[in-house]
Amino acid sequence: MIYTVSNLLTEYRKHPKVLDSDRILFTGVGERDVYNITAPFLDEGEWVIAARVEGRLTEDSDVIFFVRENDVWSPRKNTASYNLQDPFVSNIHGQLVFGGVKISPHPTNEGALTWKTVFYKGDSINNLRLFAEGPEGMKDIRLLQLEDHQIGVFTRPQGEKGGRGKIGYTEVKSLEQLYASLIENAPLVDAHFTEQEWGGANELHLLENGEIGVLGHIASFDEQGNRHYYPFTCIYERRTNQFVDMKIIATRNDFPEGEAKRPDLQDVLFSGGLIQLEDGKAELYVGVSDAEAHKAVILNPFTRK
């Protein structure tokens, strides 16, 4: 099924899901912005958030790990940072898998940049080692351990195969099989975005019934060239290679007003992570306008009616 920003927004406005929202406060990074965060995750018994940290006028970014002190998140002491963008984490076969986007000068186009997703693994943040790299030019590669111990791999090719950005899927038996060529050759999920819009998977959830829950983003340009990003959730059906029940789960207007990196990025929510609660609700963590990080309490989007 083809999903569009317009149709998904129409449905969201009929059934909004955000119950409460607030900005997350960070300290210890000087004048730099903190955004595009993960949801909090446990590392050696401590709740940690990984976040993209950079100056307002640059995309030279560090991923820093933060811990909570009262109502403020501060850089974790004695913990390395990484010169990456847009961090993500998952647990695969007993290992913490951490990754982000590595930016490099383009080899042939002077002044331009290229990027790729890189992956680290270890038993904790302080014991990570690089083990895999994605194809050049691909962001939003995400991993999930499945019930049968296979590893689901969601990809996001662009260009001839993926246009502005579509989602692919494949599976591997072990992290050692995660090669750039395998990622690049992953088949696309059956039609889901239009050619004018784009999106990707940001975090994956193995649901109680064995289905794969996807937290992602769908995006578009308006006539003035402004970007519009919305967090969505859906279910990926392995048997049919299709997304079902896709829905936007928040909009920029659901969050407090704040800073933006540029005027064209004001209406940007970048899905970071989601924690399902026991009361039919969930906590959604997002990067906002490429300048801030916020949290919302929402109705659990993975609860089937």
| pLDDT value for 145 | 98
Q: What is the pLDDT of residues 284-296, one digit of tens each?
A: 999 999 999 999 9
β-sheet with 113-122: strand ranges across: 85-92, 95-105, 113-122, 129-133
At residue 127, the 3 state secondary structure works out as helix
Any alpha helices (H) in 185-249, and if so which ranges?
none
| Residue position matching structure tokens 């270890």 | 122
| pLDDT value for 305 | 58
Residues of the chain with pLDDT under 50: none
| Residue position matching structure tokens 């800073």 | 259
| pLDDT value for 160 | 95
Global confidence as pTM? 0.97
CATH number of the structural domain 5-299: 2.115.10.20
Residue type, 143: L
C-alpha to C-alpha distance for 120 and 141, rounded to whole angstroms:
13
Cβ within 8 Å of residue 100, ≥6 positions away: 52, 63, 82, 84, 85, 86, 87, 88, 117, 118
Domain ranges within the chain, ordered by starting residue:
5-299
Transcribe 48-85 into DSSP letters.
Answer: EEEEEEE-TT----EEEEEEEETTEEEEPTT---BS-E
